[in-house]
Amino acid sequence: MKIISCIKPVPDPASRLVINEQKTWIKDQDLTFVASEADNYAIEEALRLKEKHGGEVVVISMGGEEAARVLRSGLAMGADRAIHLLDPKFKGADEFAAAATLAEAIRKDGGADLVLAGVQSDDLGTGMTGTMMAEFLGCSHASVVVGVEANPEGKSLKARRELEGGINEVVELQLPAVLTIQFGINQPRYASLKGIMAAKKKELKVWSAADLGLSDDAVGKAGAMYDVNEIAAPERKSKVDIISGTPEEAAATLVEKLRKEAKVL
Amino acid sequence: MILVIAEHKDNKLKPITSELLAFAQHVQRDFGKPITAVVLGSGIGAVVDDLKAKKIDRVLAADHELLSEYNPDSYVEVLKAIIEKEKPFLVLIGHTTQGMDFAPRLAVALRKPLIAGCVEYEKQGDRLVLTRQIFNAKMNMKTIPRGDLPFLATASPGAFPADEVESGGNAAVENAAVSIGTTPRRKLLERVEAQKGQADLSSAPIIVSGGRGLKQKENFNLVFELAEAIGGSVGASRPVVDAEWLPREYQIGSSGQTVSPKLYFAIGISGAIQHLVGMQTSRCIVAINKDAEAPIFKIAHYGIVDDLFKVVPALTRIFKDLRQA
């Protein structure tokens, strides 16, 4: 099976995020970028499917140096090769433009039996891009996947989807297919030192919008379907009673309030 | 027109449908557009009757045997035809595991914007501006869809209160012409109820829940100790379960258990909306977190902004002393 796993670079979760002057995004110049957490589960699932069924795992990412960085970590985990979508024109893409660009790159690479992506990213976090790719590629998909059982000979796959309220559903898909992988499906491996060394020798293709045959208005900000009006910290609506003091004092005050004021003890 | 895609199960509307209708009724008041609810399924008379009783203008029923189970391919095909014919102003869909399974495909098929995970909206002139949460609810992003109408939006569960939906209407019911030409590439094999383990929290009066702020598995003892001292049950947020600190059955939130105890402690839980929808109806919520900006403080009644590794042991000591007294 040929499996392509998509990785989105996002600011390290430990970063302090500051909104830019135009209030359209965060100041991202000086941040450290890592793979979006759900994408690590997707890469791990891709590697496990390859270990079971053979084939190759290709990692793909869009962006500048931060994308090259997450691709190197994917290669170090064990992916066979990487595709870096690098072009200033890709900047400012929304989910729609990103899905269109990724789908075109997958097509240019000769397609895949299976395309994996994390269920949602740590930045925009809406869980759209993977499923949108399936429509651009004209193939089947399943979202919020917590279990995969592939049958490459039968060109099919069983995916377990996580629904609300602790219910799962098992669906059968025709390959090729796109899956969006839920957190917790596996325990992603760490790259070994050997893996990191081996990654340096692996193939890393770099493609621009022109390489993909995509026009300027189809990619990046120009290809997006919405504009950002404003980014802001959420307004505080509730009248939460913040209890101050040393930890001991605050704990004592809290217990007092729970007993006398809220009367829940 | 505002088109609301109803979600239903076992001949009943799901709560998200009432939330979408409440959202639509707000938009209707601001923009003066009629509301049509669309329902897809097979043998959906009871669901149509429920929708008819809400204060909306019209129910459009797409009743077809091939729609008896949800399938993204059929949903996209049927809804695309309906939207192209009806030319709505806005299409509202639930930000659920079903809604988000087909809405992105539908948006691409229509080449129209989808604003996913909306929590608020506002009217700016004659424009509808939709707000969604980004960076795990640390920030809000206001978005303006581009191009010609319609645009699609999914609403986060819990963002628009279901009890605000107005009833008392007598909507006209119409049957939508349904033609399904393509064979679905996806087939539902089975649906399984996850097992309820010993951690059934639905009737627990006091729950002490821990999150990622506890940093590692061993530290979860702090949560167990506090729960024991206060006589409560233990719960967890999703990252804790994903990291295998605790089994899945302890998870509280949209993909775990929904709880409503009289007292809920959120310890080191930032408060992603997926967690909030599972516990926000608790009578009294206490949040302990060193990040004052954490969204959990928006719904908490009492908060302590400090190091949980100092506050929680102090609380445990007090409750132990109270017990002995």
DSSP string across B95-161:
-STTHHHHHHHHHHHHT--EEEEEEEEEEETTEEEEEEEETTTTEEEEEEE-SSSPEEEEE-TTSS-
Residue B24 maps to a domain: yes
For chain B, what is the domain count?
Answer: 2
Contact A229 B144 (CB under 8 A): yes
Q: Are A59 and A43 in contact (CB under 8 A)?
A: yes
Distance, CA of B192 to chain centre: 21
A2-223: which CATH topology? Rossmann fold (3.40.50)
Residue A202 C-alpha, separation from nearest chain B C-alpha, in angstroms? 30
Distance, CA of B112 to chain centre: 23
Q: Are residues B15 and B150 in the same domain?
A: yes
Put simply, whether A134 touches B (Cβ < 8 Å) is yes
Residue A203 C-alpha, separation from nearest chain B C-alpha, in angstroms? 32
Q: Are residues B169 and B23 in the same domain?
A: yes
Q: Are residues B77 and B162 in the same domain?
A: yes
Counted across chains A and B, CB pairs separated by less than 8 A come out at 246
Contact B303 A251 (CB under 8 A): no
Interface mutation vs chain B, best among A23, A126, A256, A261, most B CBs within 10 Å: A126
Of B97, B138, B141, nearest to B118 by C-alpha is: B141
Which pTM was predicted?
A: 0.85
Question: Which pLDDT tens digits describe chain B residue by residue (325 residues)?
Answer: 999 999 999 999 999 999 999 999 999 999 999 999 999 999 999 999 999 999 999 999 999 999 999 999 999 999 999 999 999 999 999 999 999 999 999 999 999 999 999 999 999 998 999 999 898 778 899 999 998 889 999 999 878 888 889 998 889 999 999 999 888 999 999 998 765 555 678 778 899 999 999 999 999 999 999 999 998 999 999 999 999 999 988 999 988 888 888 999 999 999 988 899 889 888 899 999 999 989 999 899 999 999 999 999 999 999 999 887 7
CATH of the domain at B71: 3.40.50.620
Q: Are residues B13 and B156 in the same domain?
A: yes
- Rounded to whole angstroms, the Cα distance separating A251 from A249 reads 5
Contact B116 A187 (CB under 8 A): no
**Which phi and psi angles does B220 have, rounded to 5°?**
-65, -15
- Rounded to whole angstroms, the Cα distance separating B265 from A99 reads 40
Q: Are residues B168 and B217 in the same domain?
A: no
Owning domain of residue B144: 2-175
Chain B segment 288-317 residues within 8 A of A by beta carbon are 292-293, 295, 297-307, 310-311, 314-315, 317
Task: Name the residue facing A234 among B117, B140, B284 (closest C-beta).
Answer: B140
Q: Which residues of B touch A122 (CB under 8 A)?
A: 135-136
**pLDDT tens digits, A213-246:** 999 999 999 999 999 999 998 765 668 999 999 9
Q: Are residues B247 and B154 in the same domain?
A: no
Task: Name the residue facing A171 among B115, B134, B189 (closest C-beta).
Answer: B189
Contact B141 A140 (CB under 8 A): no
Put simply, whether A197 touches B (Cβ < 8 Å) is no
Put simply, whether B193 touches A (Cβ < 8 Å) is yes
Contact B136 A125 (CB under 8 A): yes
Contact A254 B307 (CB under 8 A): no
Q: Are residues B18 and B151 in the same domain?
A: yes
| CB-count exposure of residue B313 (10 Å: 0-12, 13-18, 19+) | middle
Put simply, whether B148 touches A (Cβ < 8 Å) is no
CATH of the domain at B211: 3.40.50.1220
Q: Are residues B63 and B158 in the same domain?
A: yes
Q: Are A202 and A81 in contact (CB under 8 A)?
A: yes
Put simply, whether A254 touches B (Cβ < 8 Å) is yes
- Rounded to whole angstroms, the Cα distance separating B242 from A37 reads 11
Cis amide leading into B150 (omega within 30): yes
Residue B185 maps to a domain: no
